């Protein structure tokens, strides 16, 4: 059954969407726009301003102008404003979830219960951080000195975000940037600008001062690149592909911008013979197929110990064919479309080139929209492309292993190091493997859990820096040491 569109969503979609610069909604200087599409149908949802270098420059000036007053605001006042912002997100939960489902394709229940809820939880968490910023005093070995550190905001931050969890990825950067006294320009992915636009509208409604939060929609090569090379941008917070992350690192060298990079992954999930197999198999299913596999932490390499291999693969294959694929705005859909025609073709190309055995799926679902059936590939070599590269689609590679040492070596033989999962009932093995896996997060007997209080980020080519937790404030502040001669 289709879910009815809210009148507020219909109204939102009937407008041409603009840029938010210095508290004003403006067209791009060039007047150019692009359409954002509904991936369930391939049809346009609405036209969005295509920001370019001139627009970025105006947004940077606005953010620069707003910075001193925002940084000087009493921390309790910043908390009050950010809390009001979080409350507004909460009040508009259904609307945000519908916009995300339309723009990104994910099932409405997932958008509502996962994406929007997580974003709201994060905004409340960050709203509490301004009063927790602190420095330290030091016992120096020179007589007559009092030495302390201060945490100071960086200045103007740029947030460049991907399309897979657009709302969460935006809030994960807006929250800490503003909480620590910076001003911000958000550049959302061109495929999913709608919830970012709504976030900007709600920021104005929450009375965030003009210029504190600016929005420039547009393409990565134009708006995104202009932000990363702008000499008055002090920091770029990026989530997206490893390839673009590397380009950003180079562009940031111009003025030695601070950067944080949350990049791709090819995360291993290991099931030992002694695991609770039914729970482990269900976890492995959702580890890859949640969000149609378009998940940075997707458990895309599944290693099953020999004794459990046949049972796990048979059960996985059965469950994968039971999953209900369909448009996100259908009430009982579990698996939505991929984001774009390009992504559909990319994912199918990986599947068609894989030299293993397609256990289930391996083809498009339906003829409209960008759907791919949940796909499992077995009997792949560890070095085949489908086993090594991030596919970012509903495609699971399953491997058999015999020993703990062997599986750890194979799991770690990747240029990525974002996440890993281990299923075992052996306590010692659980902690041993958690320590041995080269990944920023390891889940034991669970998968894909997050909390605003727990740091998240990647090792190796999966990233640089940590988001979430109080540690994120280190990524948005400078540490200043102050020496005072007191004698
Ligand atoms: P992407 O192609 O790297 O794009 C991410 C963002 O960067 C988009 O806003 C994009 O703009 C922009 N961009 C592209 N080229 C740019 C450039 N030269 N300079 C500045 N910005 C540029 O990634 P995606 O396809 O949207 O997202 C999928 C990737 O994100 C996957 O690799 C996934 O693993 C990763 N991801 C990682 C995490 C994590 O936390 N580690 C979370 C989610 C996703 P346009 O789209 O408008 O071109
Ligand atoms: Mg879209």
Which fold is adopted by the domain 268-451? Aldehyde Dehydrogenase; Chain A, domain 2 (3.40.309)
Q: Residue 254 Cα, ligand 2 centroid: separation in angstroms?
A: 32
Q: What is the pLDDT of residue 449?
A: 97
Ligand 1 pocket check for 221: Cβ under 6 Å: yes
Mutate to test the pocket of ligand 1, among 219, 220, 221 (most ligand atoms within 8 A of CB): 220
Q: What pLDDT was estimated at residue 131?
A: 97
Average pLDDT estimate for 36-64 = 98
Each residue of 125-160: pLDDT tens digit? Answer: 999 999 999 999 999 999 999 999 999 999 999 999
Answer whether 215 contacts ligand 1 (Cβ < 6 A): no
pLDDT over threshold 90, residue 245: yes
Give one word for 447, left, alpha or beta, with left for phi > 0 and alpha for psi -120 to 50: beta
Query: Which one, of 175, 212, 213, lies nearest residue 83 by Cα?
Result: 175
- Contact call for residues 458 and 418 (beta carbons, < 8 A): yes
Say what the pLDDT of residue 441 is: 98
d(CA 237, CA 465): 10
For the Cβ of 450 lying below 6 angstroms from any atom of ligand 1, the answer is no
Q: At residue 354, does pLDDT exceed 90?
A: no
pLDDT recorded at residue 355: 86
Instruction: Please list the helix, strand and coil fractions of the chain in percent, rounded to the nearest 5, in that order.
Output: 45, 25, 35
C-alpha dihedral (425, 316, 416, 220), degrees to nearest 10:
-140
Check pocket membership of 225 for ligand 1, CB cut-off 6 A: yes
Going from the Cα of 392 to the center of ligand 2, the distance in angstroms, rounded, reads 17
- Of the residues 36, 215, 241, 252, which should be mutated to test ligand 1's pocket, given the most ligand atoms within 8 Å of the CB? 241
Cα gap 321→467, rounded to integer Å:
36
Average pLDDT over residues 290-294: 98
Residues carrying an active site annotation: 262, 296
Whole-number Å distance between alpha carbons of 167 and 178: 16
Topology of domain 7-263+462-482, CATH? Aldehyde Dehydrogenase; Chain A, domain 1 (3.40.605)
Check: pTM over 0.85? Answer yes or no: yes
Q: State the distance between the two ends of the chain, measured CA to CA, in whole angstroms.
A: 77
Angle at 202 between CA 35 and CA 95, to 5 degrees: 65
Contact 305, 273 (CB under 8 A): yes
What residues does 397 pair with on adjacent strands?
301, 377
Q: Which atom of ligand 1 is nearest to the CA of 227?
A: 20
Ordered by start, the domain boundaries in the chain are 7-263+462-482, 268-451
For residue 316, what pLDDT band results from cuts at 50, 70 and 90? very high
Structure tokens at 80: 């009050």
Which tokens in the block code for residue 249? 């690192």
For 258-268, write each residue's pLDDT tens digit.
999 999 999 99
Per-residue pLDDT at 188 exceeds 90: yes
Position in ligand 1 atom list of the atom nearest CA 251: 19
The finding on whether 172 has its CB within 6 A of some atom of ligand 1 is: no
Q: How far is the CA of 12 from the centre of ligand 1 (A)?
A: 25
Confidence label for 1 from pLDDT (cuts 50, 70 and 90): confident
The mean pLDDT value for 158-175 works out to 98
Which pLDDT tens digit goes with each residue over 61-88?
999 999 999 999 999 999 999 999 999 9
């Amino acid at each position: 059954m289709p879910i009815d569109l809210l009148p507020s969503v219909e109204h939102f979609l009937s407008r041409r969407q603009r840029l938010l610069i210095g508290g004003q909604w403006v067209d791009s200087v060039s007047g150019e726009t692009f359409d954002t599409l509904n991936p369930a149908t391939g049809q346009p949802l609405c036209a969005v301003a295509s920001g370019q270098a001139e627009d970025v420059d105006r947004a940077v000036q606005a953010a620069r102008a707003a910075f001193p007053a925002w940084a000087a605001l009493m921390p309790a006042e910043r908390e009050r404003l950010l809390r009001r912002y979080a409350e507004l997100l909460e009040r508009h939960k259904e609307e945000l979830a519908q916009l995300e489902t339309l723009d990104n394709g994910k099932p409405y229940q997932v958008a509502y219960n996962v994406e929007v809820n997580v974003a709201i939880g994060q905004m409340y968490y960050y709203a509490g951080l301004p009063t927790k910023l602190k420095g330290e005093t030091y016992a120096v070995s020179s007589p007559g000195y009092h030495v302390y550190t201060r945490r100071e905001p960086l200045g103007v931050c740029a947030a460049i975000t991907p399309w897979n969890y657009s709302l969460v990825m935006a809030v994960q950067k807006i929250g800490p940037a503003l909480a620590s006294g910076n001003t911000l320009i958000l550049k959302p992915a061109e495929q999913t600008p709608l919830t970012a636009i709504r976030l900007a509208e709600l920021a104005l409604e929450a009375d965030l001062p003009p210029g504190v939060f600016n929005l420039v929609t547009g393409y990565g090569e134009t708006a995104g690149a202009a932000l990363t090379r702008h000499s008055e941008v002090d920091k770029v917070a990026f989530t997206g592909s490893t390839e673009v992350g590397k380009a950003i690192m180079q562009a940031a060298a111009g003025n030695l911008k601070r950067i944080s990079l949350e990049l791709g992954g090819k995360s291993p999930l290991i099931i030992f013979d002694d695991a609770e197999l039914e729970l482990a198999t269900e976890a492995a299913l959702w580890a890859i197929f949640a969000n149609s596999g378009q998940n940075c932490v997707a458990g895309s390499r599944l290693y099953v110990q020999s004794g459990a291999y046949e049972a796990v693969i048979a059960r996985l294959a059965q469950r994968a064919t039971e999953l209900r694929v369909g448009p996100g705005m259908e009430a009982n859909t579990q698996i939505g479309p991929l984001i774009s025609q390009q992504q559909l073709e990319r994912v199918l190309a990986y599947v068609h080139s894989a030299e293993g055995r397609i256990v289930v799926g391996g083809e498009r679902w339906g003829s409209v929209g960008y759907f791919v059936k949940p796909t499992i590939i077995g009997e792949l070599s560890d070095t085949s492309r489908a086993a090594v590269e991030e596919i970012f689609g509903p495609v699971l590679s399953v491997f058999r292993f015999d020993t703990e040492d062997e599986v750890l070596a194979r799991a770690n033989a990747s240029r990525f190091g974002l996440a890993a999962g281990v299923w075992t009932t052996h306590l010692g093995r659980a902690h041993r493997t958690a320590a041995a896996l080269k990944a920023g997060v390891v889940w034991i007997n669970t998968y894909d859990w997050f909390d605003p209080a727990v740091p998240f980020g990647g090792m190796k080519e999966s990233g640089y820096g940590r988001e979430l937790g109080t540690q994120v404030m280190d990524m948005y502040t400078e540490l200043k040491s102050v020496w005072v001669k007191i004698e």
